[in-house]
Amino acid sequence: MGFSLRKFDVNNWTFESPKIKKETTMVVISDLHECEFGDNNCRLFAAIKELAPDCIVIAGDLIEAGRNADCTRTMQFLKQLSDNFPVYFGVGNHERKVFELKKYAAQQKRLVKGLQEAGVGLIRNEYFDLPESNIRITGLDLERTHYHKVTRIPVPTEHLLELLDNADESRYNILLAHNPEHFEDYVTWKPDLVLSGHVHGGIIRLFGKGIISPAYKLFPKYDGGLFEKDDTKMLLSRGAGSHSINLRIFNRPEILYVTLRPILTDC
């Protein structure tokens, strides 16, 4: 594993709930940041195709915000995914910056064009339902202030409700919320499962723990894996790529293969 940025892991997770009506599988990709595994991400696509999920879920930061960032090849990869699977794309801080800041206007045009050609929309404080499974996928698009590098600015329940309205608790609710630092805030919205990224596994991992986050915080509480509070679980991806600190030590890139199963109850 060591310093490799060219290999990736596929890690399997299974969650069960009586709310789920039909078994559903999904591949979760977070924090690709325009990195590639093989030409045009051919190795990554081959691995996903072999898994044959029911859908692809992007938990933010497929692209990298930057004046010189292109994102054209990443949009081609997205088109390849959407030609083969339904794709649900949640917003990360990099997509937020590209849409919000004028200095990224050229990249914004490429992103919009790529999304249109792929037939994929960003889920920005909206939701998509999977009716047969009784699963609802909601994408949270937080303001950039909630990605502050020095201090954590909480997300009050009232603000979550302004952005998302109330969760329909009769459904199995998946919340795409890129920044895991706010997990305890997300719990107040009562999702069943939160899918997050952003922390890149802590960049350097020793003894199974991340050392530093991209926000330059040492030993982040939420670095990768499964976390639980009350009736909510958060699955935090270590991410598939890197940026700025272009380094991963003992922290191989990963994609997640998630199986959601119904719990059968006796009548």
For residue 1, pLDDT beyond 90 = no
Mean pLDDT in residue range 231-241: 96
Dump the DSSP string for the chain.
-TT-SS--EEEEEEEEETT--S-EEEEEE---TT--SSGGGHHHHHHHHHH--SEEEEES-SS---TT---HHHHHHHHHHHHHS-EEEE--HHHHHHHH-GGGHHHHHHHHHHHHHHT--EESSEEEEETTTTEEEEE----GGGG-SSS-----HHHHHHHH----TTSEEEEE-S-GGGHHHHHTT--SEEEE-SSGGGSBEETTEE-B-TT--BS-S--SEEEEETTEEEEE---S---SS---BS---EEEEEEEEEPP---
pLDDT class of 216 with cuts at 50, 70, 90? confident
**How does pLDDT run across 169-209, given as a tens digit for each residue?**
999 999 999 999 999 999 999 999 999 999 998 888 888 88
Residue position matching structure tokens 């559903």: 24
pTM: 0.95
**How does pLDDT run across 113-153, given as a tens digit for each residue?**
999 999 999 999 999 999 999 999 999 999 999 998 878 89
For residue 98, pLDDT beyond 70 = yes
How confident is the prediction for the chain on average, in pLDDT?
92
Percent of the chain with pLDDT over 90: 79
- Determine the pLDDT at residue 126: 97
- Lowest mean pLDDT, pick from 1-5, 22-26, 212-216: 1-5
* Residue boundaries of the structural domains of the chain: 9-262
- Determine the pLDDT at residue 123: 96
Mean pLDDT in residue range 72-99: 96
Superfamily of domain 9-262: Metallo-dependent phosphatases (3.60.21.10)
Residue position matching structure tokens 């990195």: 35
pLDDT class of 3 with cuts at 50, 70, 90? very low
For residue 212, pLDDT beyond 70 = yes
For residue 2, pLDDT beyond 50 = no
- Determine the pLDDT at residue 207: 82
